[in-house]
Amino acid sequence: MDVSVNGEWTSTIGATLVERNIPGLPEAQENIVEVADRDGALDFGSTYAPRPIGLGFFITGDYDTTVSLLMRMFNTRRGLLDLVFSDRPGKHYFAEYRGSMSWDSSTGNRVIEIPLKMYDPFPESDERIIELTIIQSPQVISIESNGDERASYLIVLTNTGTTTLSSFKISNEYEK
């Protein structure tokens, strides 16, 4: 198992990913308002909180050099990091370093724990662009999402000719 951070695999610097802790779902946050002189609370539903990620690396290379490179790779000043796991290709986890690195003394400080947080709690899939020519009216085009969560898709229609199109209609149908 390996992880790429902004396109650089940690195994190339002498750090082997041995632990990955990504909760199945982020923690749910209740959106409520308590009003004076009213029992209970008003419920405005729930939303997802930021998702924490914990990564554990075993240092296989020169200890000081590898730890230095690992710290540079996860430096908080780099901002949002694009993480791709070798066993989950095409899924991008955008996270930032939060907390502090810790060392596992039982392994002689060879395992380093790195805490991260995804403020947008769901990974994104690789972008897939499909171009086709509309040749009949009406024409139905099915677009499937390969992600874990249904996502809105973007359809851009461009008239490349000089003729103005009239009575043009786009309808959006969802199948369950």
| 158 within some domain | no
Over residues 4-48, the pLDDT tens digits come to 999 999 999 999 999 999 998 999 999 999 999 999 999 999 999
In a domain, 172, yes or no: no
Angle at 23 between CA 21 and CA 51, to 5 degrees: 100
Range of the domain at 24: 3-125
CATH for 84: 2.40.30.200
H/E stretch holding 68: helix 63-73
Query: What is the total count of domains within the chain?
Result: 1
Contact 9, 16 (CB under 8 A): no
Residue 59: inside a domain, yes or no? yes
Return all residues near 128 (Cβ < 8 A) that are at least 6 apart. 146
pLDDT in tens, 111-165: 899 999 999 999 988 877 777 777 776 677 777 666 666 666 666 777 777 777 7
Express each pLDDT in 47-93 by its tens digit: 999 999 999 999 988 888 999 999 999 998 898 999 999 999 989 99
- How many residues make up the chain in this entry? 176
- Phi (first) and psi of residue 77, to 5 degrees: -70, -15
- Choose among 162, 165, 164, 149: nearest CA to 24: 149
